[in-house]
Structure 1
Amino acid sequence: MNDNALWAVTLSNGEHAVVFYALSVAGLAMAAFALRQFTTQHEVSIRYRPAVIAGMCVALVAFLSYVVLVLKFDAGYEQTADGWVATSNAVLSWAPRYFDWTVTVPLLVVEVVAVSTLVGARATRYRAIGIALALGMIITGFIGGVAIDDGTDLGALWLWGTLSALCMVGLYVMLVMALLHARREMAGSTALPVFNLAIVLLIVIWFAYPLVYAFQGFTVTSGSYTSAQVILSIADIIAKIGFGALIHKVAKLRTAEDLAAGVDTGHAGPIWINGEPVMGTKDGRRG
């Protein structure tokens, strides 16, 4: 274990408790959201259901990664008279985040495309490019932040971090283009403001990740490690649960609008949002 690695710090009792709390709460929140997505997937039509299923998979994968993070964090630090001292397992209180992101970030792209106005070959192209950029962003970040000298080689950290940032910029361009396309095709739709909010939320919250990555290039202290774990846990909750909930609402609103337009969606019954029926049955009557 490299003694200069971000996770090789000695934590106070308070810092150890805060990290354990953040990891545990994030994991439990992911489990709850995965269950919610599973039980409510039939609230939307088959056309938009891939977005809900992708959101459920995101939460499930994140939950499993947080189980590993909690267990390895517990095993990765030993209590001594000087505080909680890192062991050789400490890296596994950090690295599984990248394993999670390698799967979940591409799935976030799938969620966006599934409820957007992109269809046919264009949807396939956007999805493929978005997934490739997402994988590039995470894998290059992992190489610089963990794989090479435990993220302590500043040259490698910034080289691979720059490549990761370029992929991130490409993802931002793709998200903005999908949003602009939706604004043209969904003008007047009640789903459009929610879709706008979902995209803006994702773009804003993703800034938290390079910020934490930069911690490794500037300072390695127990405070920076604790802050990084808390920030990433909060960012994951927002990016996976907050974003997923908005995408779910877009899917419900678009289902309701399809029903009102007489589109055969394969969905029967009213669409309920916030305890109120949005649309009635397939003939378009309001509930």
Structure 2
Amino acid sequence: MSLSLYDLVHFALMAAGFALFAYFLYTWASRQEVGRRYRPAMHAGLCLAAIATVSYLVLFAKWDSGFTLVDGVYEPNAEARFTGSTRYPDWAVTVPLLTVELLAVCSLTGRRARNLRATAMAAAFLMILTGYVGAQLVADGRDRTALVVWGLVSTAFFAYLYVALIGAVRASIPHMGREAGVSLRNATVVLLGSFGVYPLVYAIPVFADVTPAWSATMQVAYSAADVVAKVGFGLLVHKVALLRTAEDVAAGVDTHPEPVWLSNVHHSEGVLPEVRHPHGHSAPELLREREGHDDGVRGGATRTASDRG
């Protein structure tokens, strides 16, 4: 592998790892901004960002130690193969978590939500597992027949996942505001669109010999798709969760202690839950005012649930 190709993959792995770590920090810092109803989406995002960050640390170390510089060219050694196999355990956990993240901001409830979440997670896991068998286990991923057969099995789970998630989103959009619905649709397009990159890269060894250029292309494509699927999608899910939190507060079906702002636009006031006295009747907590200052910081009022009428 040439120096430029090696450095390109080096850059892609490092940039993806940094992006995932930044997303982990952002999600951790902003997880309380959304209502309790939508926090499972934030928790799923935190888990997958942490796992993916560690995965990219391992990938970077394996790539760094998997090649030896000989006469100005990087030659792969025995550890080079593990650069590919490291990705599949990551995906086996993070792809099911991506389905949890999406479904957590949909409008499905009760048994229907539980059943769909379980089947989507199972399909996502089996999609990755069967792809792993073809790409890594059978003949070290060099058997084209095995690649095709296991790729088709993986595609069956892939197709179910598309149908299930699109169905959940389509059923949910009429039950939320227009802006939240558009953002949910965009998040779904980003997620499922990025999912489409993986089978295309998987199919490269079926139709071409994996030269150093193809190997570098595969690593860069996987890294870019990971960032889009986890970071880009996650930020859109966070936006949906914020908008739906504001909608719930405005409709009086939930409380949230702080005003909801998004892109400097005020979407709802903060509303505190009612405090119940020992004698059984309720009384509102004190109104907390957040005064604006001369430095341009916007203020907002925090109300109680009983003040919304």
Q: Does 1:234 align with 2:224?
A: yes
More strand as a share of residues: 2
Residue 193 of structure 1 pairs with residue 193 of structure 2? no
Asked whether the equivalents of residues 259 and 284 of structure 1 are also in contact (C-alpha less than 8 Å), the reply is: no
- SS of the aligned residue for 1:190 comes to helix
1:26-41 to 2 correspondences below 5 Å:
26-41=16-31
Amino acid in structure 2 at the alignment position of 1:74:
D
In 2, the alpha carbon distance for the partners of 1:21 and 1:284 equals 55
Is 2:170 aligned against 1:180? yes
Number of the residue aligned with 1:3: none
| Corresponding position of 2:259 | 270
> Structure 1 regions of 5+ residues with no counterpart?
1-10
2:191 paired with 1:202: yes
* TM-score relative to the length of structure 2: 0.86
Residue 280 of structure 1 is matched in structure 2 by 269
1:182 to 1:285, Cα distance in 2 relative to 1, 3 A: farther
Structure 2 residue identity aligned to 1:196? R
Report 1:49-198 matches (<5 A).
49-81=39-71, 83-186=73-176, 188-198=177-187
The structure-2 alpha-carbon separation of the partners of 1:284 and 1:80, relative to structure 1 and needing over 3 Å to count, comes to: farther
Query: Which residue number in structure 1 is paired with residue 238 of structure 2?
Result: 248
- Write the distance in 1 (CA, Å) between the matches of 2:19 and 2:181: 27
2:9–2:216: 8 Å Cα contact kept in structure 1? yes
Q: 2: distance between equivalents of 1:284 and 1:136? A: 48
Instruction: Give the alignment of 1:2-13 within 5 angstroms.
Output: 11-13=1-3
**Counterparts of 2:216 and 2:70, CA distance in 1:** 18
Q: Which amino acid aligns with 1:262?
A: G
Structure 1 counterpart SS, 2:179:
coil
Query: Which stretches of structure 1, 4 residues or more, deviate above 2 A after TM superposition?
Result: 183-186, 281-286
Deviations, residues 175-220 of structure 1 (Å, cap 9, x unaligned): 110111013323x442100001001111111110001001111221
Instruction: Give distance in 2, aligned partners of 1:28 and 1:185.
Output: 36
Structure-1 separation of matches of 2:118 and 2:178: 27
Q: Distance in 2 between matches of 1:197 and 1:159?
A: 32
- Identity, in percent, stands at 42
TM-score by length of 1: 0.92
Structure 1: how far apart are the matches of 2:205 and 2:109? 41
Counterpart contact for 2:3–2:72, Cα < 8 Å: no
| Cα drift, residue 285 of structure 1 | 9.6
Structure 1 or 2, whichever has the larger Rg, is 2
> In 2, are the aligned partners of 1:279 and 1:285 still within 8 Å (CA)?
no
CA-to-aligned-CA distance 1:108-139 (integer Å, 9 cap, x gap): 01011110001110000110010010011000
Say if 2:200 is the partner of 1:211: yes
Answer yes or no: is the 8 Å Cα contact 1:144–1:157 preserved in 2: yes
Please state whether the residue corresponding to 1:201 is helix, strand or coil: helix
Unaligned runs of 5+ in 2: 272-304
Secondary structure at the residue paired with 1:277? Answer: strand
